[in-house]
Each structure stands twice: as C-alpha cells, then as structure tokens.
Amino acid sequence: MLWPTLQAAKALGGSASIAELDAAVIEAEQFSSDQQDVLHGDGPQTEIQYRLAWARTYLKGMGLLTNSKRGVWTVTEAGQTAAPTDIGPLHAQFVASSKKKGKKKSGQKSNVASELDQVEAEAEADWKDELLDTLLKMSPTGFERLAQRLLRESGFSSAVVTGRSGDGGIDGQGVYQISLLSFPVFFQCKRYSGSVGSSAVRDFRGAMAGRGDKGLLITTGTFTNDARAESTRDGAPPIDLIDGDRLCDLLKEYGIGVSTTERVVEDVKVQADYFSSLEPK
C-alpha cells in the first residue's frame, strides 16, 4: 500500500484528506466491493482502511508524507522525488531505526510498534475506533438524535427527526442557513460496520424524490467508490456523504461526546555554558 498511497497523494495535487486518499487507492488498485466490505477483526474499520492507515503512518516515518492537525496529508519534498525503488530501502531503514530506538527505551517493548505508538496518526486511530465502537452500540433512535445535534451545531437553523415506518428511509430533515439563504436538507443515518454501497445512495435519493433535492447520508462505516460516484452522478440530485472517519472529526470539532486535552511537550536544552561557568578559573 505504500507506493499506491504516495502516488495517490501526488495525483491529488500533493495533498489530500484521508477519505480522498483511501478512495484514490481503492480505485487505482481496483479493489472489488467484496474486498472493501472485509472488516479488520470485528470492525469497525475495514481491512483496507486499516492497512491504508498503517501505510500513511509508515510513509510519514519514512519522511515522504506529513499530516496536519486537521487530517490533511501532504507529500514532502522527498516524497515528490521518490521512485518505486526507493520505497523498500526507506521502509527497511525506518523499521531498523524504530527497533533501535525502541530498545533504548526502558520499560517499553523493543519493536516497531513502540516507536510508531508516538505517531499522531496511530493515536488518532485509537480514539476513533473507540468512538465508532460506542456509536455502533447506540440504538437507532439515539443515533438519529446524535445526528440531529450535529446538524444543529454545524449551522442548521432547525433539525427534526422524522424517521418512522413508511417514511422511505428518511430519518430526518433540517434547514441549513448560509448567510441570507436557507434550504431544506434530508438526512439518513446508517450504523454500519462495513461499507455502504451505491444502492443505498440510490434508495435514499428515491425516497427524497418530489420532496427535496438536498440529501445527507451519515454512516459509521465507509462508502465504496461506487457509492461516492453515485452520490455525484450527472443528472441526479447530489447526496453529501459523511463516513465514520469524518463523523468522528465532526464530533470532536463540535465537542459532542468528545473532549480533548492539550498536552505540553517540554523542549529540554542543555546549557553547556552554565556548567563551564562553574569551573574554577
């Protein structure tokens, strides 16, 4: 996954979100819908998501990618000039360096994981997995109320849960306000462990027919590339998609069930001049 991930980031203009990177690699490697549905362990991450997360982590450690606090991954100068034949040696060098550093840390396991645990991407994956596990355990009603709260916090002037039998799969609707303009938006919530396919997008669009042309599909899982393509298909009302990764980011951004603590890291420098001043003249 290392070279395809780096190539995808380059093709996307040198920077990309996690969702963009995942979609680009899946398309380039031509993973089938069945492959995209395979969960890593008991989920909620898919196996492809899991491996791509490690690919980004390794590429960062190899100095080929870097990431911002907002989850945007950028190709470094070294990454721009890297060739396929560079990946193997750089990977081996990073693994060897990680093992060496791991051995120097008392009380820590001396393997690659001990070093990678400090990588921001891994820490992020931990809390997101925990959050998604929590969301999957919610009742349908509770999850719909969570979506309602999220819409209100993100700028909807009203948000109502309408999900009920015979409602065609629509769980709620709201009015989104942008400056002097406002328009109705229908939303649907899917608590999935795997991938949501294109049929779910088509069904949701069908339920909206004659009622509105703005839709928001929210899931704890992922969307297949076919689903993403269907959401923006020419001639059809667009459906905006929020997958599990983006949902976690939004809940964190608005402080909904997620709290953050700033960590202060000391920058320790030895002042050699001071010690020299203590020496007898």
Q: pLDDT tens track of the chain, all 281 residues?
A: 999 999 999 999 898 888 889 989 999 999 988 888 888 887 777 889 889 988 998 999 999 999 876 678 999 999 999 999 999 999 998 888 877 765 555 444 444 444 444 444 555 567 888 888 888 888 888 888 888 888 888 888 788 887 654 444 678 888 887 877 888 889 988 888 888 889 999 999 988 887 877 899 999 988 988 999 999 999 888 899 999 888 988 988 888 888 877 655 556 565 667 656 656 66
Position 180 scores a pLDDT of 79
**Residue given tokens 């990309």 in the structure block:** 16
d(CA 149, CA 140): 14
Judgement on whether residues 126 and 178 belong to the same structural domain of the protein: no
d(CA 265, CA 89): 32
Position 103 scores a pLDDT of 58
Judgement on whether residues 121 and 180 belong to the same structural domain of the protein: no
List of long-range contacts for 163-172, beta carbons under 8 Å, 24+ apart: 163/189, 167/207, 168/206, 168/207, 169/203, 169/204, 169/207, 170/204, 170/207, 170/208, 170/211, 171/144, 171/147, 172/144, 172/147, 172/148
Domain boundary among 108, 132, 156: 132
Residue at 167 is within a domain: yes
Judgement on whether residues 74 and 171 belong to the same structural domain of the protein: no
**In which element (H, E) is residue 22 found?**
helix 18-29
Position 104 scores a pLDDT of 56
Which residues in 246-280 are b (16+ Cβ under 10 Å) and which e?
bbbbbbbeeeeebeeeeeeeeeeeeeeeeeeeeee
77 and 17 Cβ atoms separated by less than 8 Å: no
Q: How many structural domains comprise the chain? A: 2
Position 166 scores a pLDDT of 45
pTM, two decimal places: 0.64
Judgement on whether residues 106 and 121 belong to the same structural domain of the protein: yes
Question: Which structural domain range is residue 179 located in?
Answer: 138-253
Judgement on whether residues 30 and 121 belong to the same structural domain of the protein: yes
Position 129 scores a pLDDT of 83
Judgement on whether residues 232 and 174 belong to the same structural domain of the protein: yes
**Cα–Cα nearest to 247, from 125, 134, 123, 132:** 132
Position 280 scores a pLDDT of 65
Judgement on whether residues 200 and 214 belong to the same structural domain of the protein: yes
Position 112 scores a pLDDT of 47
Residue at 23 is within a domain: yes
Position 117 scores a pLDDT of 43
